Structure 1
Amino acid sequence: MTRPTGTRDGAVSDLPDDPPWKALWALVLGFFMILVDTTIVSVATPALVEAFDSDVTTVMWVTSAYLLAYAVPLLVTGRLGDLVGPKNVYMTGLAVFTGASLWCALAGTVEMLVAARVAQGLGAALMTPQTMTVVTRTFAPEVRGVAMSLWGATAGVAMLVGPVLGGVLLDTAGWRWIFLINVPVGLVGLVLAARLVPRLRPHARTFDPIGVALSALGTFCAVFAIQEGERFGWGQVWGWVSIPLLLGVGVAVLLAFVAWQAWGASAPLVPLGLFRDRNFTASSIGVSAIGFSMSSAMFPLVIYAQTVRGWSPTESALLLVPQALVSILLARWVGRRINLVQNRLLAGPGFVLVACSLVAFWFVMGPTTPVWLLVVPSFLYGLGSVHVWGPMSTSATRRLPLQRAGAGSGVYNTMRQVGSVLGSAGIAWAMDWRVSVHLPGGLDRTTDGTLTGASADAYTRALGEAMLLPAAVSVVGMVAAFLLVGPDSAGRGLLGRGAGAASGPRQRGAR
């Protein structure tokens, strides 16, 4: 049964009396798919090297190109949803992503595959901010915590499921199915989005082309330098272009972007007033920290399982399953408590558990460690992360006015993605450093290719010590989490004062 309902947009919508859970599940399907693709290729590198008769450096661009194309436009695509409506942008992105997935599966050369992955990343960038915006604008405050917790748990679970799913598909169907599986899922997602996601009224009327150019150039240079620095040895990339130069240009252009947003733009791409909201700033720092931890912690684990223990890609990825299962099972439970307790009492201890689990991995990892002992810290990591994603996501948008929901979602997701890029770069540096300390002469292998006992012990110590880096970053996230305030009703924050005054318990977006 439906009835006319006043919306937070000031429009009237004929929507169901229940919160729009079906719309959330439609969005989560697409969101899950694009995040799985950030990690699913990580276990396919050897297969791609063999399939294209290429080298590891070239094949690594299959992952790097996607991450770059995903991260760079997020600030712009968040604002684009405000300009033309989040549903329109989401469905466009999903169509691009689905078509690019088919292109990836049919690629005949590694260069074509990299180009298709760029298209995939652009589609993902169009989609991601819109999912968060729709949740913010369609769920009433009393149920938004559960919705955001499911949204946040999707982000955490997807990054863990990627290597598992990739390993299974590689072992059973071949590398092309890593991408081909997205096609039917994307088509189903398009149908569900068309039928179930509400058509929200655009807020913005103007765009900021100078801000777009500055943010894209600055983000690309900075993210590329951080992401690829270890691969290029922090030296030359092309001719006189070096990693330090790109990083310097990126930082300088981003500073110019901030100055333009503060004093030059009439309709800023990123309203700097967003950061006057304590919750938004703390949540943005926190989501960067959990993104860093999530992307960095899995690499030493997978390498340890495959190189030291000799497990297959599927077997090694199963180490991540306890984390994913705990996140899935507890997401709704955590979401129901977001409006009942102080969010810092959920996210703060969550970060503590994440840090402790990473220290525990360092402590227990060994060439002959029983599997059950490795499962314990994996379980603790999932228990901690599920208490972080939902409260952080809810707190980020809790007190933002609706006209800034798209910009806020873009910034928040950019911070998450930048954290992931920093994590990938940081763990590569940490592993290289600790391996050079423990194995200055390199790995010693037996005639059958397995590591010698001494080499396996030293390599394991190096990988375990590298995991202390994401543990330390998790402490930064803990500090940010304990700065959160709330719960309180939407619209009472520094930015949202009065924004929610006219909103009743059935706040929804208009079709």
Structure 2
Amino acid sequence: MEIRVKQQQEERIIYILASTLLISVMSATMFNIVLPDIAEQFQLSIAQVSWVTSGYLLVYAVGTVIYGKLADTYGLKNVLTFGFALLALGSLFGLFAGAYWMVLLGRVIQAAGAAVIPAAASIIPVRYYPEEHRGRALGIAMTGMSIGSALGPVVAALVVSSLHWRWLFFMPVLTLIALPYYRKFLKDETVKAGRIDWLGGGLLVGAAALLLLAITYEAWLAVIGCAVLFVSFVTRIRYASEPFVPLGLLRNKGYAFGLTLAFLATGIGYSLYFLTPQLLNQVHHLDTGMTGFVMVPAAAAAAILGRRGGKLADVKGIPFLFFSASAMLLLCFALMSSFAEQSPIAIAGFLIFGVVGQSFLYMALSNQISRTLAKERIGVGMGLLAMSNFMAGAVSASIYGKIVDQGSGMSWNPMIMEPKAFVYSNLYFVLGMLHICILLFYWYKFGRSARDRMTMKV
């Protein structure tokens, strides 16, 4: 009887976690479709307002690791309570913002609180589930994350179709409903003394922020500052007693290789959530509400097929899932590059391949990377993976925003005739080529059956 009660509690915790993770990640992408509205209201460029997304993802990324470390010192219950309170504060601040800097500050505070949720997602499966059930728990949590990325634009469309875009700040407040359940079902932990490498974390945040500034404003001084801070960060993690990023993880070749592939693949895949709303607005002249609804079929497909991806990995193997996901992504990029100026209905169909493919790809890489980690490193290793993916989203959003602002005077695809669609067609073509490179690297490292069984452990 006691075992059954424990199993029921485990089920409740993981589904509550997946739900809050879905809302948390969703809030990172839901602002993408209203960037043209924000740019118009405050008379800014797409690259400048992309900070609403990239700034959120940057703080969200680093906060994920910081909360993971704080949970060891202050207990997961207490850290969750603090993070949820901060999330509510940022949401209310942004909801009543009257200037762009207030919008941006609200997003940053919001992200600083919301980052506790992916941190919990890397801790709970490890601490609360036996090893034989841990993979399933991680799979459910990761499904929530991937579905959240797809649902963001859809929920945003539903909100802005009847309310002002500022009400998007209110959506993450719904996660507060889960706080009493976390406090009820999570154990009272024995906290332990620990140190956080605030200097290392600060150097990493500073380097990333300067990189985004350099991309947005083409400032060479920011490039130099970014290089200096990054070199300082690398030096710090080499010599600090408890570095922000454990050096032992980076010395694990299998983990480091997988982390690099995940960073690049996430940056490429994020184009589907960032570029598509701009394409629909600038080329097809859809308003914010209709833009979101175009993305509904892809989000629905990702939600329905999400668990199927995990089963495919178990039955057919991780490489099969990765190659299947890559095939769908490459098909999506080819179609988007060739028919970017066609009807929004066609684009809605193309996106199904891309969004489902990106969801499957994230599951495959997460599963593959987890196999390169020793048991005691799973929590921190998966936390760093989450940080890397959010960093990739932040950097890619700034790059895509800058390229869209500059536009293109010619199309590399002869099927595109609309000048406004040139830049999008060219971008999708380049991103498809880059993903082919990732596919080849994955095949070299993981694709052969003999290499599917990872033996490298930290």
TM-score, normalised by the number of residues in structure 1: 0.78
Whole-angstrom distance in 1 between the partners of 2:320 and 2:12: 30
> Is the CA contact 1:300–1:466 (under 8 Å) kept in the aligned structure 2?
no
Whole-angstrom distance in 2 between the partners of 1:479 and 1:153: 26
Partner of 1:77: 67
Q: Which moved more, 1:60-69 or 1:321-330?
A: 60-69
Deviations 1:219-246 (A, max 9, x none): 23332233333431x13xxxxxxxx333
> Is the CA contact 1:74–1:413 (under 8 Å) kept in the aligned structure 2?
yes
Whole-angstrom distance in 2 between the partners of 1:49 and 1:382: 26
CA 304–63 in structure 1, closer or farther in 2 if over 3 Å, else same: closer
Which of 203, 215, 219 does residue 201 from structure 2 map onto? 215
Which of 213, 218, 224 does residue 248 from structure 1 map onto? 224
> Is the CA contact 1:399–1:493 (under 8 Å) kept in the aligned structure 2?
yes
1:383 matched to 2:373? The reply is no
Partner of 2:180: 191
Whole-angstrom distance in 1 between the partners of 2:81 and 2:375: 21
Partner of 1:302: 277
CA 329–74 in structure 1, closer or farther in 2 if over 3 Å, else same: same
Deviations 1:179-213 (A, max 9, x none): 22332x122121222223455666x743243xx21
Deviations 1:152-198 (A, max 9, x none): 33333322322222222112022232122332x12212122222345
Whole-angstrom distance in 2 between the partners of 1:433 and 1:105: 31
> Is the CA contact 1:319–1:378 (under 8 Å) kept in the aligned structure 2?
no
Q: Which runs of 5+ in 2 are unaligned?
A: none
CA 418–354 in structure 1, closer or farther in 2 if over 3 Å, else same: same
CA 474–95 in structure 1, closer or farther in 2 if over 3 Å, else same: farther
Partner of 1:365: 340
> Is the CA contact 2:214–2:223 (under 8 Å) kept in the aligned structure 1?
no
Deviations 1:51-86 (A, max 9, x none): xx6332575554444233323444433333344344
> Is the CA contact 1:34–1:124 (under 8 Å) kept in the aligned structure 2?
yes
Report 1:419-498 matches (<5 A): 419-432=392-405, 435-437=408-410, 457-479=418-440, 481-482=442-443, 483-484=445-446, 486=452, 493-495=456-458
Identical-residue share of aligned pairs (%)? 19
1:179 matched to 2:152? The reply is no
Partner of 1:119: 109
3-state SS, counterpart of residue 430 of structure 2: helix
Partner of 1:273: 248
1:107 matched to 2:97? The reply is yes
CA 60–321 in structure 1, closer or farther in 2 if over 3 Å, else same: same
Partner of 1:447: none
> Is the CA contact 2:94–2:107 (under 8 Å) kept in the aligned structure 1?
yes
Whole-angstrom distance in 2 between the partners of 1:36 and 1:375: 19
3-state SS, counterpart of residue 323 of structure 1: helix
1:229 matched to 2:214? The reply is yes
Whole-angstrom distance in 1 between the partners of 2:85 and 2:453: 37
1:379 offset after TM fit, Å?
1.8
Partner of 1:159: 149
> Is the CA contact 2:416–2:422 (under 8 Å) kept in the aligned structure 1?
no
**RMSD between aligned residues:** 3.1
Whole-angstrom distance in 2 between the partners of 1:375 and 1:103: 34
1:279 offset after TM fit, Å?
4.3
> Is the CA contact 1:430–1:469 (under 8 Å) kept in the aligned structure 2?
no
3-state SS, counterpart of residue 216 of structure 2: coil
Whole-angstrom distance in 2 between the partners of 1:117 and 1:35: 13
Whole-angstrom distance in 2 between the partners of 1:365 and 1:46: 18
1:388 offset after TM fit, Å?
1.4
CA 187–125 in structure 1, closer or farther in 2 if over 3 Å, else same: closer
CA 224–465 in structure 1, closer or farther in 2 if over 3 Å, else same: same
Deviations 1:268-297 (A, max 9, x none): 332222134454223312321332123223
CA 301–272 in structure 1, closer or farther in 2 if over 3 Å, else same: same
Deviations 1:290-339 (A, max 9, x none): 32123223333222222222222122223322332222112222223434
1:365 offset after TM fit, Å?
2.2
1:362 offset after TM fit, Å?
0.6
Whole-angstrom distance in 1 between the partners of 2:441 and 2:251: 15
Whole-angstrom distance in 2 between the partners of 1:296 and 1:377: 13
Deviations 1:108-140 (A, max 9, x none): 444333322221121123332221222233344
1:19 offset after TM fit, Å?
8.0
Partner of 1:450: none
CA 371–352 in structure 1, closer or farther in 2 if over 3 Å, else same: same
Partner of 2:290: 315
1:392 matched to 2:353? The reply is no
**Which one has a larger percent helix, Structure 1 or Structure 2?**
2
3-state SS, counterpart of residue 400 of structure 2: helix
Partner of 1:374: 347
Whole-angstrom distance in 2 between the partners of 1:303 and 1:252: 34
1:2 matched to 2:2? The reply is yes
Whole-angstrom distance in 1 between the partners of 2:348 and 2:32: 21
Deviations 1:450-497 (A, max 9, x none): xxxx99712223311111233233234434544345567xxx7522xx
Whole-angstrom distance in 2 between the partners of 1:199 and 1:335: 32
Partner of 2:25: 35
Partner of 1:451: none
Deviations 1:336-359 (A, max 9, x none): 343444322212331232123112
Whole-angstrom distance in 2 between the partners of 1:200 and 1:389: 31
> Is the CA contact 2:267–2:395 (under 8 Å) kept in the aligned structure 1?
yes
Which of 286, 299, 302 does residue 261 from structure 2 map onto? 286
Whole-angstrom distance in 1 between the partners of 2:2 and 2:228: 53
Partner of 1:507: none
CA 305–109 in structure 1, closer or farther in 2 if over 3 Å, else same: closer
| Letter aligned with residue 103 of structure 1 | F
3-state SS, counterpart of residue 194 of structure 2: coil
Partner of 2:159: 169
